[in-house]
């Protein structure tokens, strides 16, 4: 039996295609409405699974070449209308989407949808619902029952400089295996240990959901994250893109909480905030505490932005602000988090930035590397702070 799946996000297509193929179905996939209509006519599928939010045409097609019947509208419901009213077919159609608008759901059923699945959803649920519509098996391979397609597609940049020991942790493999809506982009920042080999092993196990941006020479954390963020932004499939450290100072549970916050709000940026809460290890080292206070004081008094932890190195943001925040190389190596804030202020203004940026307290945060701030680093940070102040004022 043939199933046509339509979604404009490759992460979703890959997960659906692998799952349905494992269940014994022949799968044809399309990432735009133009191809979806063409493939429907060519392959005559037994079932169509349609995402509501889809682009009209693929990059190689112009809007002028799009079939007139779908009216150039960027909605998967146009494919449903094509099947029901243009072709007059009763082919089972399942709507798959993260859209929770009751009016959209009602419209889908009025147009003749047979089934409606809301993200997030498990691979097991997909198998059960497909079997109910067209028959087949529902037993997935062992371990696949607890894997989920999230409501949004999220890209995560993880800079790696000699991180072999951290990357061997099961946390990375377990997270990417279970969470099919996430894509991890590891930036190898000129490592001299076995980091690159470990990353390639993880990538082999998770095709399409792990990418490696390899810097042959060490470029520093700020530039490594910038390169990774821009690499993901160019793919145009992610709703949100963020970054975290390979040492898991912030773990995946806390990062997922940041994602939940931004997906259920109107914020453009959600940043972790390191405050004493639920066992978070906030450093009592006098030098580090002084520098953190100095940075926050400068951001508040010089730029009029009141933030409790402007330098926290874990963030998630809407994909439409990534170019503004990361398009140009940063002035400093250690205070790029502050530069992100000031770049957004330059475009949106201080008042708007305060409305679009939210600091979420982290449930757990540790200084994983347990490194002290040296006198040299202290003067370096103060110098970078002065450089930022002069440039962005």
For residues 56 and 65, what is the distance between their CA atoms, to the nearest angstrom? 11
Instruction: Say if 364 falls within a structural domain.
Output: no
| Alpha-carbon separation of residue 235 from 8, 14, 43, 133, 229 (angstroms) | 11, 15, 28, 33, 10
Q: How many CA atoms lie within 13 A of 302 on its CB side?
A: 18
Q: Supply the CATH number for residue 76's domain.
A: 3.40.50.2300
Instruction: Say if 381 falls within a structural domain.
Output: no
Instruction: Say if 291 falls within a structural domain.
Output: no
Instruction: Say if 323 falls within a structural domain.
Output: no
Nearest to 34 by CA among 1, 7, 66: 66
Instruction: Say if 354 falls within a structural domain.
Output: no
- pLDDT tens, per residue, the chain with 393 residues: 999 999 888 888 988 998 899 899 999 999 888 899 999 999 999 999 998 876 554 444 343 443 444 444 457 788 998 999 999 999 999 988 776 667 777 888 888 999 888 888 888 888 889 999 999 876 766 667 778 888 889 999 999 999 999 998 889 989 988 899 999 999 999 999 999 999 999 999 888 899 999 999 999 999 999 999 999 999 988 999 999 999 888 899 999 999 999 999 999 999 998 865 444 445 555 666 676 777 777 877 777 777 788 778 899 999 999 999 999 999 988 889 989 999 999 999 999 999 999 999 988 777 666 555 555 567 787 888 888 888 887
Instruction: Say if 266 falls within a structural domain.
Output: no
Could you tell me the sign of the dihedral formed by the alpha carbons of 274, 365, 195, 322, in that order?
A: negative
Are 340 and 316 a contacting pair, CB within 8 Å?
A: no
The crossing angle, in degrees rounded to 10, of helices 170-178 and 195-205 is 30
Instruction: Say if 18 falls within a structural domain.
Output: yes
State how many domains the chain has.
Answer: 1
Q: Which domain holds residue 103?
A: 2-134
Buried b (16+ CB within 10 A) or exposed e, 166-176: bbeeeebbebb
318: three-class secondary structure by DSSP: strand
Instruction: Say if 100 falls within a structural domain.
Output: yes
């Amino acid at each position: 039996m043939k199933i046509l799946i339509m979604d404009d996000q490759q992460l979703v297509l890959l997960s659906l295609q692998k799952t349905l193929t494992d269940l014994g179905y022949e799968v044809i996939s399309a990432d735009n409405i133009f191809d979806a209509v063409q493939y429907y006519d060519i392959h005559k599928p037994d079932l169509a699974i349609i995402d509501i939010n889809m682009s009209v045409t693929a990059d190689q097609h112009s809007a002028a070449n799009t079939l007139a019947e779908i009216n150039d509208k960027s909605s998967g419901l146009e494919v449903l209308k094509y099947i029901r009213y243009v072709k007059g077919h009763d082919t089972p159609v399942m709507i798959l989407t993260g859209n929770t608008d009751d009016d959209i759901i009602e419209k889908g059923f009025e147009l003749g949808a047979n089934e409606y699945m809301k993200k997030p959803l498990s691979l097991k649920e997909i198998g059960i619902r497909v079997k109910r519509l067209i028959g087949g098996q529902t037993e997935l391979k062992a371990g696949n029952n607890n894997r989920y397609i999230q409501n949004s597609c999220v890209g995560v940049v993880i800079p790696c400089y000699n991180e072999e020991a951290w990357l061997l942790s099961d946390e990375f493999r377990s997270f990417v295996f279970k969470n099919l809506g996430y894509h991890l982009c590891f930036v190898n920042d000129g490592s001299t240990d076995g980091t690159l080999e470990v990353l390639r092993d993880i990538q082999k196990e998770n095709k399409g959901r792990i990418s490696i941006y390899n810097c042959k020479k060490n470029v520093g954390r700020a530039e490594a994250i910038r390169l990774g963020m821009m690499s993901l932004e160019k793919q145009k499939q992610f709703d949100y893109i963020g970054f975290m450290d390979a040492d898991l100072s912030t773990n995946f549970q806390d990062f997922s909480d940041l994602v939940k916050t931004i997906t259920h709000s109107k914020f453009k940026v959600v940043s972790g905030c390191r405050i004493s809460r639920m066992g978070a290890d906030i450093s009592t080292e006098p030098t580090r505490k002084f520098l953190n206070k100095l940075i926050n004081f400068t951001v508040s008094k010089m730029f009029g932005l009141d933030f409790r932890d402007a330098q926290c190195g874990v963030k998630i943001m809407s994909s439409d602000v990534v170019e503004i925040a990361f398009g140009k190389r940063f002035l400093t190596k250690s205070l790029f988090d502050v530069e992100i804030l000031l770049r957004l202020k330059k475009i949106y203004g201080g008042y708007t930035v305060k409305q679009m940026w939210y600091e979420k307290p982290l449930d757990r945060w540790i200084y994983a590397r347990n490194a002290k701030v040296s006198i040299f680093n202290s003067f370096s940070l103060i110098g970078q702070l002065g450089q930022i102040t002069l440039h962005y004022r």
